[in-house]
Structure 1
Amino acid sequence: MVLSGPLRERHGIVTSQFGFLRRLHDHPGSRVAALAAESAVGVGATSKGVDRLEKQGRVLRQPNPSDRRSSLLALTDDGSQLVDAAEKTFTDGLAELTGNTPDDSPASATVHTVSKLRSVPERGQIGTPTS
C-alpha cells in the first residue's frame, strides 16, 4: 500500500502501528480502550498491537492510579522519535494517495482527502448491504 510500504521500509512499522503511536503522541496517558475506540479496532487487537510496540521499546504501560485493572500508555523516547521521523513519510504517502499538493489549503486538502478516502470502500461496496 502507498502508506504501509514506505513506513515499513523507512521506519520498520506499518500504518496501524503509526496510527497507535501518533494517537499516543497526541494523547499521552490513554488507555487501550480509548486507543481502540479512536482507531475503530477491537480492544483485543489494539492490546496485541500495543504489546508488540511495547516489546519493541516504543510504548510503556504504566499503572492507572484510578483503576488497578487498566494501564495508561505512554511513548518511550524511542517511540516519540519514531513518530516524528515517520510523520513526513506518512504525510507524503497520504498526499500521493489523495493527489494533494503542499500548495493545497488545509481545509481544501482535508475535504479532498476525506472524499478520496470515502470513495475507496464505496467503489468496493464495503459496508453496503448485499440485498
Structure 2
Amino acid sequence: MAYKSSDALDLVAFFDDLVRCETRVYNALSDRLRAEHSIVTSQFESLRHLRDHPGARVADIAAAFAIGIGATSKGVDRLEKRGWVVRQPNPDDRRSSLLALTDEGARLVDAAERTATACLAELIGEAFGGAPATVRAFADLRAALERARIGTPTG
C-alpha cells in the first residue's frame, strides 16, 4: 500500500490494491473450482446462497451480490440446465419463482465449499491469518456499504 508524503493513507492506491487482489483471488478460485467441480466462482456463490437461503428468488440473489437481475437470471438458467437448481412457483407472487437446490446441487455446493475453503486458505489465509482485525475491517466496510445501499445496480 502506498502512502502520501504526509503519511496519510493513499486511498486511490488502496483501491487499486483491493480491486487487483479481489480479481486475482476470484480468478484463482474459479480456476480451482473449474478443475475440481466444473463450476466457476459465480456459480459456487449462487449455489451457496441458495443453500443458505432456501426459497430465494432471482431478485434476492441479485441484491445479495449487487449485480443486475438480468445477469442473475441467466446464471440461474445455466444452473437449472445443469440440474443443480429448480424453479418453483412463488405462492405470494405469480411473477417470480422460488429457487431450490436439487440433491445434486446440494452435494456439489458442499464439495465445492470444501475446495473453496482450502483454496482461500492457501491464497489469503497466511496474509490474514494473523490479522483478524483486517478481516473484521472488511466485514464492517461491506456492512456499511450495504446498509447505505451504496453500489447497488440500478437496472
Question: Could you tell me the TM-score, scaled by structure 2's length?
Answer: 0.66
Instruction: List per-residue Cα deviations over 1:40-95 (Å, max 9, x = no partner).
Output: 11100000000000000000000000100000000000000001100111112222
* Unmatched segments (≥5 aa) in structure 1: 119-126
The corresponding residue for 1:2 is 28
- Is the deviation greater in 8-17 or in 86-95? 86-95
State, as a whole percentage, how many aligned pairs show the same letter: 66
The correspondence for 1:108, drawn from 129, 132, 152, is: 132
Aligned pairs (5 A) from 1:1-131? 1-100=27-126, 104=129, 108=132, 111=135, 114=138
Contact 1:32 1:43 in 2 (8 A): yes
In the alignment, the residues of structure 2 paired with residue 20 and residue 100 of structure 1 have an alpha-carbon distance, to the nearest angstrom, of 27
Contact 1:23 1:35 in 2 (8 A): yes
Q: Report the count of equivalent residues.
A: 114
Q: Secondary structure at the match of 1:29?
A: coil
Q: Secondary structure at the match of 2:28?
A: coil
* Unmatched segments (≥5 aa) in structure 2: 1-26, 143-150
Cα drift, residue 113 of structure 1:
9.1
Structure index of larger Rg: 2
Question: Could you tell me the TM-score, scaled by structure 1's length?
Answer: 0.78
Structure 2 CA distance for partners of 1:96 and 1:57, relative to 1, 3 Å? same
Cα drift, residue 100 of structure 1:
3.3
Structure 2 CA distance for partners of 1:29 and 1:6, relative to 1, 3 Å? same
Q: Secondary structure at the match of 2:99?
A: strand
Structure 2 CA distance for partners of 1:96 and 1:58, relative to 1, 3 Å? same
> Which amino acid is 1:70 matched to?
S
In the alignment, the residues of structure 1 paired with residue 51 and residue 122 of structure 2 have an alpha-carbon distance, to the nearest angstrom, of 24
In the alignment, the residues of structure 1 paired with residue 54 and residue 103 of structure 2 have an alpha-carbon distance, to the nearest angstrom, of 13
- Give every structure 1 segment of 4 or more consecutive aligned residues whose post-TM-superposition deviation is greater than 4 Å: none
